[in-house]
Amino acid sequence: MDARSLISLIPSLSAYKWYGKVTRVIGLTIEAKGPQASIGELCYILVGKQGTKVMAEVVGFKEERVLLMPLNGTAEIAPGSLVEGTGRPLQVKVGYSLIGHVIDGCGRPLTGEALPNGLTPYPTDNPPPNPISRPRIKEAMHLGVRAIDGLLTVGKGQRVGIFAGSGVGKSTLLAMLAKNAAADLNIIALIGERGREVKDFIERDLGEDGLRRSIIVVATSDQPALMRIKGAMTATALAEYFRDQGLHVNLMMDSVTRFAMAQREIGLAVGEPPTTKGYTPSVFALLPKLLERAGTNGKGSITGFYTVLVDGDDLNEPISDTVRGILDGHFVLDRELANKGHYPAINILKSVSRVMNDIVTDEQKRAAEHVRSLLSVYKESEDLINIGAYKRGSSKQIDEAIERQPEVISFLRQNTDEVAIAEHSIQQLIQAFGKGD
């Protein structure tokens, strides 16, 4: 920022700094008398003899008290601890030199090193693009996964949910997308993950090549609920910054469910009533605000992939249902397929891309519909086929489905280290299945 820009900021600066004092701590919530602050404002709580600053955010008010929630632990906070208002929400530093780094929800490197030079402060909580100014999605995003590029084509700026129970391959699929996708940059948010799995994902699943074109934001399950919320917000803000630079960004978040659980913790702590399955109303208000920030604008695009942890493989539980209604498509990972060693375990019949018909050729569309028809017919008759009750010749459709089932499965399967070039996948699909009805 040049001197003229700095001088122009002087009239907006306050000559006062506002302070308050901690009165009590109840569970996750800190009550303070003052400072004068607004919802979402970042405050510092001065603790210990050295006056160490603990970051906290204003999350509500109760009578004449300010309710704060810490971004770090509350161990050293005591009655009378000084609370310093900053007059602004949380900002993180962003820039091209951040690529290849792993940071926390506040934008600090997890390695403990200093941030690179040349970064720009950027707010973490931004409004979604104006719906009228959003360009329509007209171009495909090639992801290097045959089943997706061929049958569930994703467009640049589309937002897709990946729905699955635990241990069905969500993180593995995300890593494949990060390594293979034809995006300029990946922003990967690991929200509420086990600490052990973070390094496994970076070194084993993503690898050095994937990390070189990615920024990873980590907020593990042991961190305060507000830090998990900020992890998702920070990752989205990074994607927005690079989108405004004209890049096509892949934003991958694992998982939205843990983001919702963190907001539920905050809502209950500040006194919100639990509603659907214990989730507070603020959860269902915050989800669209987060998810709608991805997409296209006049400069670039954010293609969003959000994993949703499905409890007991129930696709109709509240978070799954809400997220599915907001996004532009969903991939359902099937435990039954995973148990058969079929990876990626995408259930094509339960999955949909809502923009596919607008961005693919008629030939590809017909071939994809033919594959879906073969899968559907085989699925409906599978029990009869397995027990030997079906007699060949009874139905031409079933005969074709049985005959071509190995070919369909071969097309849909892909090793995690295999890169499927999208043009080849689509050509293979059309040549093999394009002539069927």
Give residue 187's pLDDT.
Answer: 96
Q: pLDDT band at 357, cuts 50/70/90?
A: very high
Condensed to tens digits (0 to 9), the pLDDT of residues 103-138 reads: 999 999 988 788 888 899 999 999 998 999 999 999
| Contact criterion met (CB below 8 Å) for 24 and 31 | yes
Given the candidates 1.10.150.120, 3.40.50.1260, 2.60.40.10, 1.20.1270.330, the CATH classification of the domain at 363-434 is 1.20.1270.330
Range 92-360 classified under CATH 3.30.360.10: no
Q: pLDDT band at 313, cuts 50/70/90?
A: low
Q: Quick check: 37 pLDDT over 80?
A: yes
Tokens of 368: 């994809």
Distance CA 146, CA 411 (A): 7
Measured on CA atoms in the order 212, 227, 311, 148, is the torsion positive or negative? negative
Condensed to tens digits (0 to 9), the pLDDT of residues 90-103 reads: 899 999 999 999 99
Q: Are 18-89 and 92-360 in the same CATH fold?
A: no
Residue 205 is inside which H or E element, if any? none
Percent of the chain's residues with pLDDT above 90: 58
Q: Quick check: 15 pLDDT over 70?
A: no
Give residue 19's pLDDT.
Answer: 86
Give residue 47's pLDDT.
Answer: 87
* Domain residue ranges of the chain, discontinuous segments joined by +: 18-89, 92-360, 363-434
Q: Which residues pair with 356 in a beta bridge?
A: none
Q: Quick check: 436 pLDDT over 60?
A: no
Distance CA 380, CA 52 (A): 65
What is the mean predicted confidence (pLDDT) over 304-320?
84
Tell me what the pLDDT averaged over the chain comes to: 89
Which are the contacts of 88, defined by CB distance < 8 A and separation ≥ 6? 41, 42
State phi, psi for 355 to the nearest 5 degrees. -110, 0
CA distances from 118 to 94, 115, 121, 290 (A): 9, 9, 10, 27
Distance CA 304, CA 252 (A): 6
Distance CA 134, CA 292 (A): 11
Q: Which of 307, 329, 338 is nearest to 164 (CA)?
A: 307
Give residue 391's pLDDT.
Answer: 81
Question: What is the maximum alpha-carbon separation in the chain?
Answer: 87
Q: According to CATH, what is the number of the domain 18-89?
A: 2.40.10.170
